[in-house]
Amino acid sequence: MPVPKLIFSPSETDKKVSYPQLIQTLTDSQFIEPDANKKNQYYAGNKFLNLITFLGCSPNINLSPADGEDHCIISLIEQTTATKCLGYTQTANPKCPACTKRISNWKTADWQKPDSFCVCDKCQTQTRYADLNWKHECGFGRCGFEISHIYPHEAVPTDQLLSALKQLCEFAWQYCYADN
């Protein structure tokens, strides 16, 4: 069974960030514990639940190994030279940025490859897959971080977290869910 994730990456999908600075920002805001659990993996920090809002009634979120195996771990995504698909949900169905309608038959054999283009069946506009409106159900990028054991639409980041990330690198960040 794939582990469900909440993934963060720069909105401009070809941007890179400095990981030492990213770790500093996440540590300063107490989103993560300062000491890495494993290389590029971190436990949730003291303010994790102030920076991520869990939706629905009384969510049972495990934040440390003492809570059970399915606890949240924050992991840095390995940086790549090309923009790639970082994850997606089984219900992903992108919208065309030109006509804003949902695109039928978008899932081609090459859709996850860097710089593949999607042709809208409604208005014929060609868009890079990375630039479609995925409604948080798919993300592309070269870097970022992910939180394990968060199910699609179970939680959303606060504005405080997103603005801390924006301050770090002067461009906005996006988030998506994945259960692939």
The residues that touch Zn ion, with contacts defined as CB under 5 A, are 96, 98-99, 120, 122-123, 125
Which residue lies nearer to Zn ion by CB, 46 or 124? 124
State the virtual CA torsion across 37, 42, 45, 49 in degrees, nearest 10: -130
Which residue lies nearer to Zn ion by CB, 103 or 143? 103
Which residue lies nearer to Zn ion by CB, 37 or 125? 125
Q: Among all chains, which residue has been given the structure tokens 């582990």?
A: 3
The 3-class SS string of 109-178 reads CCCCCCCCEEECCCCCCEEEHHHCECCCCEEEECCCEEEECCCCCCEEECHHHHHHHHHHHCCCEEEEEE
Which residue lies nearer to Zn ion by CB, 83 or 127? 127
Residue 49, H or E segment: helix 48-51
Smallest separation (angstroms) from Zn ion to the CB of 84: 24
